[in-house]
Amino acid sequence: MLGKAQGDPISITGLGAYAPKRVLTNEELSTLVDTTDEWITERTGIKERRIAAPEEALTDLALPAARAALAQAGVEARDVDLLVCATVTPDMMFPTSSALLADVLGAPDAGAYDLLAGCTGFMYALAQAYGMMAAGLAERALVVGGDVLSRILDWTDRSTLVLFGDGAGAVVLERTPQRGFLGFELGADGGGGIHLSLPGSGSRRIEDATGNGYVHMNGREVFRFATRVLVSSAEAVLDCCGVSVDEVDVYVPHQANVRIMDHAAQKLGIPRERMVVNVDRYGNTSSGSIPLALAEAQRDGRLKKGDLVLMTGMGAGLTWGSGLMKWTL
């Protein structure tokens, strides 16, 4: 799925993020599983990650992020008519986290649904919200991406435990004088889905006493997939929009592994100083990854009005997705 933005200009007008207070360092992890700070840092670039408190669910992380995004946009929640929440760890399967958020925020008339696309969830949700607005089905959207992956990890499996963290981000989408979103590219390969899965989590019960309810990952295959699609998806959306990679001011890849990110930047020809990196402090927060990185880049003054921003995610499904936009905040 590939397309260039059409119709009225639509952009991000508010941005917010939230991560739990609890910091879990590599040194602490080394007391739980057979690993070391050096081993984790060398292979992933991760030094620490945030872990939700026992009483915190997805909406507890998403709510402050959503409120911050609405505040920055100067938008009242009651004026939001679409709320999309990208997550693989909702509070529960139903009612949806999106509906719960709409209620607490005070958006009683908003259409609200959760979206499952693994770590690519935020990019899928962003594209869907844009499409709904471009089609005239929504006037103002709130897109939330976040996960509490610590709840679905096997805390004895170092191959997954060291990679993931918890966090959430949110953006407000509105019609704007200048065009923000320029184009999107989305894709999926269900044939490769077995390489990153959560067996026993749905209606197809898999009798696996050692793995039910925990993330299963074939690290080698996921690495190959990620290094390929981060590049091909980005190249596709740039080509569709008639934009050269040299014009990209800020590159925000999914924060999964610094080796994957560095590989993509090198293959694309994007200088590393243009790439936003915070995986060292948050780990892989799945659907929260890109909005957390955007919020940090904005806070640090790295996102300036007029900047060309390239975002690419990839994850379970297997899925991938890219978005290209001019920053209008």
Q: What is the pLDDT of residues 50-94, one digit of tens each?
A: 999 999 999 999 999 999 999 999 999 999 999 999 999 999 999
Residues 6+ apart with CB under 8 A from 306: 326, 327
Please tell me whether residues 101 and 234 are part of one structural domain. Answer: no
pLDDT for the residue numbered 211:
54
Q: Which of residues 175, 195, 220 is at a domain's end?
A: 175
pLDDT for the residue numbered 132:
97
Please tell me whether residues 51 and 141 are part of one structural domain. Answer: yes
Catalytic residue among 26, 257, 278, 284: 284
Please tell me whether residues 219 and 90 are part of one structural domain. Answer: no
* 95 confidence band (pLDDT: 50, 70, 90): very high
Catalytic residue among 195, 216, 254, 263: 254
What sign does the CA torsion over 294, 300, 305, 309 have? Answer: negative
pLDDT for the residue numbered 213:
78
Catalytic residue among 119, 241, 257, 278: 119
3-state DSSP helix/strand/coil % of the chain, to nearest 5: 40, 25, 35
Q: Which of residues 175, 209, 229 is at a domain's end?
A: 175
DSSP 6: -
Please tell me whether residues 15 and 112 are part of one structural domain. Answer: yes
Cβ atoms of residues 215 and 152 within 8 Å: yes
Please tell me whether residues 17 and 163 are part of one structural domain. Answer: yes
Please tell me whether residues 238 and 192 are part of one structural domain. Answer: yes
Please tell me whether residues 10 and 114 are part of one structural domain. Answer: yes
Q: Is the pLDDT of residue 207 over 90?
A: no
**Which residues does residue 82 pair with via DSSP β-bridges, in sequence order?**
111, 141
Residue ranges making up the domain that contains 73: 2-175
**Closest of 279, 259, 325, 328 to residue 126, by C-alpha:** 325
DSSP 236-264: HHHHHTT--GGG--EEEE--S-HHHHHHH
Please tell me whether residues 7 and 151 are part of one structural domain. Answer: yes
Specify the CATH number for the domain of residue 187.
3.40.47.10
Q: Which of residues 175, 195, 211 is at a domain's end?
A: 175
Please tell me whether residues 230 and 192 are part of one structural domain. Answer: yes
Q: Dmax over Cα atoms in the chain, in whole Å?
A: 56
Please tell me whether residues 23 and 107 are part of one structural domain. Answer: yes
Q: Can you point out the beta strands (E) in 93-248? A: 111-115, 141-148, 166-175, 181-188, 196-197, 216-217
Q: Is the pLDDT of residue 298 over 50?
A: yes
The string of pLDDT tens digits covering residues 246-273 is 999 999 999 999 999 999 999 999 999 9
Q: What are the structure tokens assigned to 314, written together?
A: 């990839």
Please tell me whether residues 87 and 216 are part of one structural domain. Answer: no
Q: What is the number of structural domains in the chain?
A: 2
pLDDT for the residue numbered 201:
85
Q: What is the mean pLDDT of residues 175-188?
A: 97
Please tell me whether residues 32 and 171 are part of one structural domain. Answer: yes
Q: Is 119 designated active site?
A: yes
Encoded amino acid at 248, one letter: V
